[in-house]
Each structure stands twice: as structure tokens, then as C-alpha cells.
Amino acid sequence: MLTKMIPGTNIAYTESDDAFSVFRPMIEITGGLSLGQICSITGLQTSTIQNWVKRDYVPHPDNKKYYERHLSRILLISALRECMNIEEIGELMKLINGDTDDESDDIVSESRLYDYFCKSIRNLETKYLSDEYITETIEAILENENSSCKDRLLPALKVMVYAFISGACLKEINLNLSILRKE
């Protein structure tokens, strides 16, 4: 179920515990990433990133260069935008680290936040959330069905299971956002 890609990117996981360590050498070697390089890493359109900057979801680039803080925020937004709208993501980021262009109000660096997020996701990639395990579980339940029935029921039940998991996750998102809003 969970991707083997580094969240928010189109880059495969490495063995590193620190997901952001993949990007630090790129940023250091280039003296900051260009918008085109950010787009290559994330698969996002330039207009999308520019819109996020304009709406203060991402810090403004420094002389058209993006550094750790910028890339981390873009990667977090990119990873979360499948299930949360941009306004909620922006609010969440503000609840964590305040103003996008002011690092003095941050409770944690953006890159560390991204690493914590990636480690959490990676640790959840257990057999219980894998597509293989879900498929095996459903196939075991359907073992007494004829093959033509299984061929239709397997993908249908997978859709149902994933929809249920997504719904449960959305409830948790809303519960935890409301907790953050009350702090």
C-alpha cells in the first residue's frame, strides 16, 4: 500500500535512515537548487511550486535558489496533498513552525520534520500495510471461491479495504488537526 519512494518525490528509498541526506549533497554541490531541479525531484509543475510560494506555504527562494528549508517544505506538502487540501497542509505547517519565512519560530527544522515524517512512514511499511499482505489476506478468505469469482472479488475487496483504511486515516487526520488547533 505504501510506496517505496521517498515521500513527496519520484526517488526510490535508499538504505539511509535520514531521508533528507539524499538531497543535501545536491543542494551543496549546486549552491541551492533551481526551480527546475525541484520539479525534477518532485514531479511537480513549476506553477504549482510558484503558487505555494506566493500563498506562503513555502518560504520564498533566496535569489531563485531553493535550500533545505524550501525543499523540505515542498516535499512535505507534495507527500500530503493526496489526502489533505493545500489550505489544511498550510495550516498544519504553521501550527508546527509558524511563519514560513521566519526560522526563529520553528520548533524543529523543516528537514528534521521531513526526516521524522519519512521515518514514521518507513516504520509503518510493515506486512500489515503492504499490498502483498492485503492481497494474501483476501486471497485466503476467498480460497473456496471459484477462480472467475476470485478474479472479480479480489480487486473489489482491495478497493473496499483501501477505502476503509483511507477513511480511518482521514478521521485520525481530522482528530489530530483539531488537537493542534486547540493548543
Domains within the chain, CATH numbers bracketed? 1-125 (1.10.1660), 126-183 (no CATH)
Three cell numbers, residue 117: 515524517
Query: Are the CB atoms for 123 and 104 separated by under 8 Å?
Result: no
Look-up of cell digits 506566493: 54
Task: Name which residue leads in pLDDT, 116 or 123.
Answer: 116
Structure confidence by residue, pLDDT tens digits, 121-143: 777 765 567 788 889 999 999 99
Q: pTM for the full model?
A: 0.79
pLDDT of residue 3: 52
Structure confidence by residue, pLDDT tens digits, 22-53: 899 999 999 999 999 999 999 999 999 999 99
Please, what is the average pLDDT of the chain? 87
Residues 28 and 23: their CA atoms lie apart, in Å, by 9
pLDDT of residue 1: 45
Max mean pLDDT range (15-24, 62-71, 102-111, 152-161) = 62-71
pLDDT of residue 129: 74
Q: Is 135 exposed, middle or buried (0-12, 13-18, 19+ CB in 10 A)?
A: middle
Other beta carbons within 10 angstroms of residue 130's beta carbon come to 13
Is residue 115 classed as helix, strand or coil in its secondary structure?
Answer: helix
